[in-house]
């Protein structure tokens, strides 16, 4: 079975995503590693497709693509949360996850 990231390029995503990513992710967000961003904010994403676009900026493109990989790997995301978040932060993420229907 192919994963989300192994799917052929959909024509809807065959364009540059730099402007969109810069609007969606603040400079402070982009200063975090993809792992820390995903651990802290991954639970807030119900849908994520920014990793499917092309990027002129290779640093931004690599960051977004790594975030996308992490958001689609629940086991890795859970390991990152346990490693990077304080017990209080992890409890808050779990509380917020429980609220999503």
Is 36 among the domain residues?
yes
Asked whether residue 22 is assigned to any structural domain, the reply reads yes
Could you tell me if 49 and 13 are in contact, meaning their C-beta atoms sit under 8 angstroms apart? yes
Within a domain: 68: yes
What digits encode the pLDDT tens for the residues 19-46? 999 999 999 999 999 999 999 999 999 8
DSSP 8-state class, residue 72 = T
**Residues of the chain predicted below pLDDT 50:** 1-2
CA torsion through residues 83, 85, 86, 91, sign: negative
Arithmetic mean of pLDDT over the chain? 88
Predicted TM-score (pTM) of this structure: 0.82
Q: Quote the domain boundaries for residue 30.
A: 14-99
Q: Is residue 7 part of a domain?
A: no
Domain count, the chain: 1
Residues contacting 64, CB < 8 A, separation 6+: 17, 21, 25, 50, 51, 53, 55
């Amino acid at each position: 079975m192919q994963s989300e990231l192994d799917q052929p390029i959909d024509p809807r995503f065959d364009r540059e995503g730099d402007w969109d990513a810069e609007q969606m992710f603040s400079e402070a967000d982009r200063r975090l590693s993809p792992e820390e961003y995903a651990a802290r904010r991954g639970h807030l994403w119900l849908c994520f497709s920014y990793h499917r676009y092309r990027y002129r900026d290779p640093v931004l493109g690599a960051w977004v693509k790594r975030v996308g990989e992490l958001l689609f790997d629940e086991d890795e995301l859970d390991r990152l949360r346990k490693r990077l978040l304080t017990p209080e932060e992890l409890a808050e993420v779990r509380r917020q996850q429980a609220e999503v229907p």
